Amino acid sequence: MVSNEDGTPQAITISPAAGLTIRNGSTGNLAVSLPCKPSQNVTVKTTIIDGSGAMTISAGASLTFTTANWNTPQNVTFQSVAAQAGWQRVLVAPFGADAPGYSAVTAHILVS
């Protein structure tokens, strides 16, 4: 486990930290990076913790960070399924990023 001086695990970094708002039928990006240099390659898996199918990850479901690019943000692209004409949907989809040795992080993706 990668930890701070006080022993608490380092969390994966996302930006914007508060999450993301995208419009129905549109895409949006969250940037993911590691908080410190790893000793070997680290694969970050990203998921949408929502079974509705109203949103997908169209790029960045698996991100690989190396000792050379650990602090260079990599994008996760979200695609919202378009709502039917005359119908408005507001969806909050929890997003998660997890990697061995790092504490997981979650954020909310708001579709409006």
Give the Cα separation of 77 and 27 in Å (integer): 7
13 bridge partner residues: 33
What is the per-residue pLDDT across 71-95, written as a single tens digit (0 to 9) for each? Answer: 899 999 988 877 655 444 555 555 6
Q: Can you give the pLDDT at residue 4?
A: 43
Q: Which residues of 51-86 are buried (b: 16+ CB within 10 A; e: fewer)?
A: eeebbebeebeebebeeeeeeebbebebebeebeee
What is the per-residue pLDDT across 13-64, written as a single tens digit (0 to 9) for each? Answer: 888 887 788 877 888 898 999 888 888 888 888 887 765 667 788 898 888 9
- Is the confidence at residue 66, as pLDDT, over 50? yes
Give the Cα separation of 4 and 17 in Å (integer): 19
